[in-house]
Chain A
Amino acid sequence: EPEVTQTPSHQVTQMGQEVILRCVPISNHLYFYWYRQILGQKVEFLVSFYNNEISEKSEIFDDQFSVERPDGSNFTLKIRSTKLEDSAMYFCASGQSLYEQYFGPGTRLTVT
């Protein structure tokens, strides 16, 4: 059964550094998402992506964040200058239609 995969599973970085979180969505899916979960808090929507552009972003998704689908298979989330409060589990999701979302296992980002 096809799955969404994410790499790395755990990323440790220093404050101010750039990080790129990578996702490989299920191959025939058209809709792509990033969510995050700060420890002990809710899973929160960050951004959705369709037809090579952002379709919606939350207030969390400020200018430090960007997403890209560079080669038709990967979907990346870049944080330009990480802050301590960016430490969280980041989940990628994809869907073939607008109303389904299949999640990856997540990347745990630790900013020190």
Chain B
Amino acid sequence: AQSVTQPDIHITVSEGASLELRCNYSYGATPYLFWYVQSPGQGLQLLLKYFSGDTLVQGIKGFEAEFKRSQSSFNLRKPSVHWSDAAEYFCAVGARNSGGSNYKLTFGKGTLLTVNP
């Protein structure tokens, strides 16, 4: 069964600093990978996704992520963090069921990002 590990529960960065949030996955086939962000009181907003092709994917709000098959990782990065980026970030892997009729997401536990002024 697939699984996702986000090793950092809480990260604090200063505004303007660079950011990297770690994500490791376990999945038997080629994974479909996602990063979602959740601000307080809001739903899960899709930041970016990787299905195939270029291993560096660009998302919304200036985020990018790099798929590294050899490391089973899909780390999220941003060169310069803004105070509005403070939120919880979830990495997820998508998998089809054996009959191919369904596709579900398996999430990591999330990383809470605090941004200091």
- Give A contacts to B, CB under 8 Å: 4, 6, 31, 33, 35, 41-45, 48, 50, 55-56, 91, 93, 98-106
Contact of B44 among A43, A45, A100 (CB under 8 A): A43
Count of chain B residues with a beta carbon within 8 Å of a chain A beta carbon: 24
Chain B proximity of A65: nearest CB distance (Å): 16
- Report the number of A-B residue pairs with Cβ-Cβ less than 8 Å: 56
**Distance of A55 Cα from B90 Cα, bound (Å):** 25
CB contacts (< 8 Å) of A91 on chain B: these are 43-44
Interface majority SS on A: helix, strand, loop or mixed? Answer: strand
* Chain B binding surface SS class: strand
A35 surroundings in chain B (CB, below 8 A)? 105, 107
User: Which residues of the partner chain A approach B32 to less than 8 Å between Cβ atoms?
Assistant: 99
